[in-house]
Homo-oligomer: A and B are copies of this chain.
């Protein structure tokens, strides 16, 4: 079919092409050519004497050299195996209703994504979710996939793996030297990790969220007030994953959100999360008191059929918790939390999300939509951190986790927010304890309130720390937080800032391969391989630009100094000279190594002229 005809006429403009001097490779486990695990390989200068550096890569086919996206066709399915998975049934699915797109007029309606696909759901009680498979002892293709994906660079670091894990501080984490599919299965079976992978999102490249795996990053996107093209909306996702977002939450509201979400999911190689209560609220005209179970349930099914991989559900905001927020400095700051608080209080009723939680589980299980149990009562400022409302909700989330697990659903738990450094660790400890080690997924936390315009930084400090303590995924914050809507540069800054936090956490936990990238960078620095430094970094473009502002000439890319100190003061060059001198001395005096040892024993005596 010629799907082009149905597409909007504005140009298709998602970003494609390799990131820096890298190429995309896919690896297939032996005998499983249908499982193609992506990796980004950074070429290094021949003088490096190093193998190319392979890095984890959530950017999907968009960063391939030869990929031409066809948004209307959607991405090719990464999970082709779903077509033959037992226990699933194809069915017609729910008809799209006017309210799904915010009652937008025909003239402004964004067309649905025409990519052809079947809608599936679990047919009976046979295992359907990754948790159910794991408990049944079944290793799924998704588990094999993520095991290979997580092992990246570990083969390179294998000799040091045990030592690095030992040298790290994991606060009870059990990061393995090597990740086997069986290890993945065990972690999922005990609820300590999830693979958010709706069976209706075959385009997604499986990834895992859990404290014994690499720390992940989520980026939020939302629709523009006036959508000029679907490509513009899809591009937000493509741009965020290009810089390292492992999942993307679509927080759009208003018109066309059903159809735009369709375009995003069909073209997303990463799991997509949503907050269904936002759309449900739109359907009842924005009045929280009019929400009810029927409209919410209908929204869950609508989004589950589309392929949303995880839902934020604020079922922990109970009626009894609401008065606990009365004396807060900033009250309730979560949108979902305040919607539910208003609902509860206006009706003087217990939350329907809490009361209908079993039914929510039943729906989410059929599609393997993972729970992201929302922290609707998270603190909105330093003053409110770790208060009774926040912790009461967390305890409820622990209770709900067990129910969801019993129902076969995968669960992660959302966390704060605004927390000063000395109150971060207790959040992690309480979450692990109350929620049975279900993965923690935190927003920052911001460690101070005083820097609007810089909250990517205030929050990256908290994010790095809580990631180290055991948080499995970090929700990014952009420089525009508290001030306005992030633009393209803000999204990039937010994602890269959070990649820093996640990587710093991996290093500190003693991840056996994380330091390979740091070491490659450090060797490139010491060798003055400037191009390699740019390419190994998280943002080659910015690094190159900053360098060139001071020393733009190509010749300086191989210069043995940089603009900070200039040739006369270059300490690295001095160290290199030093090593040459030392080597010469060693030659002359038969062995620098022995000399060093003597040095340590006898101090300065040895080299006194004889």
- Is A407's CB within 8 Å of the partner chain B? no
- Is A194's CB within 8 Å of the partner chain B? no
Identity of the chain B residue whose Cβ is nearest the Cβ of A253 in the assembled complex: B569
What B residues does A499 contact at CB under 8 A?
451
Identity of the chain B residue whose Cβ is nearest the Cβ of A322 in the assembled complex: B578
Q: Determine if B330 and A549 form an interchain contact, defined as CB atoms under 8 angstroms apart.
A: no
What B residues does A330 contact at CB under 8 A?
522, 525-526, 572, 575
- Is A485's CB within 8 Å of the partner chain B? yes
- Is A77's CB within 8 Å of the partner chain B? no
What B residues does A519 contact at CB under 8 A?
329, 381-383, 449
Interface string of A475-491 (1 = CB under 8 A from B): 00001111111010000
What B residues does A451 contact at CB under 8 A?
496, 499-500, 537-539
Given the contacts A331-B575, A421-B465, A525 and B253 also touching, CB distance less than 8 Å: no
Identity of the chain B residue whose Cβ is nearest the Cβ of A522 in the assembled complex: B381
Interface residues of A in 563-590 (CB under 8 A from B): 563-566, 568-569, 571-572, 574-579, 581-582
A561 to B336 alpha-carbon distance, docked (Å): 16
Within the oligomer, what is the number of copies of this chain?
2
A452 to B537 alpha-carbon distance, docked (Å): 6
Interface string of A279-321 (1 = CB under 8 A from B): 0010000101000000000000000000000000000001110
- Is A390's CB within 8 Å of the partner chain B? no
Interface residues of A in 176-232 (CB under 8 A from B): none
* A604: contacting residue among B349, B485, B538, CB under 8 A: B349
Q: Determine if A549 and B592 form an interchain contact, defined as CB atoms under 8 angstroms apart.
A: no
* A581: contacting residue among B334, B335, B346, B450, CB under 8 A: B346
The interface-forming segment of A260-268, A367-375, A540-548 is A540-548
Q: Determine if B571 and A337 form an interchain contact, defined as CB atoms under 8 angstroms apart.
A: yes
The interface-forming segment of A24-32, A144-152, A397-405, A593-601 is A593-601
A465 to B328 alpha-carbon distance, docked (Å): 27
Task: Give the distance to chain B from A585, nearest Cβ to Cβ, in Å.
Answer: 8
Task: Give the distance to chain B from A537, nearest Cβ to Cβ, in Å.
Answer: 5
- Is A175's CB within 8 Å of the partner chain B? no
A550 to B486 alpha-carbon distance, docked (Å): 9
Q: Determine if B482 and A525 form an interchain contact, defined as CB atoms under 8 angstroms apart.
A: yes
Identity of the chain B residue whose Cβ is nearest the Cβ of A382 in the assembled complex: B518
Most buried by B among A454, A458, A479: A454
What B residues does A143 contact at CB under 8 A?
none
- Is A394's CB within 8 Å of the partner chain B? no
A290 to B600 alpha-carbon distance, docked (Å): 26
The interface-forming segment of A66-74, A428-436, A501-509 is A501-509
Q: Determine if A534 and B581 form an interchain contact, defined as CB atoms under 8 angstroms apart.
A: no
A381 to B334 alpha-carbon distance, docked (Å): 40
Known: A325-B575, A447-B500, A460-B460. 18 other contacts (CB 8 A): A169-B422, A320-B603, A320-B604, A324-B596, A331-B571, A331-B575, A332-B574, A332-B578, A338-B574, A381-B521, A421-B505, A421-B507, A448-B503, A449-B521, A454-B542, A458-B500, A484-B550, A484-B562
10 contacts between A and B (CB under 8 A): A286-B568, A331-B571, A420-B508, A421-B468, A421-B504, A452-B543, A457-B497, A482-B533, A484-B551, A485-B563
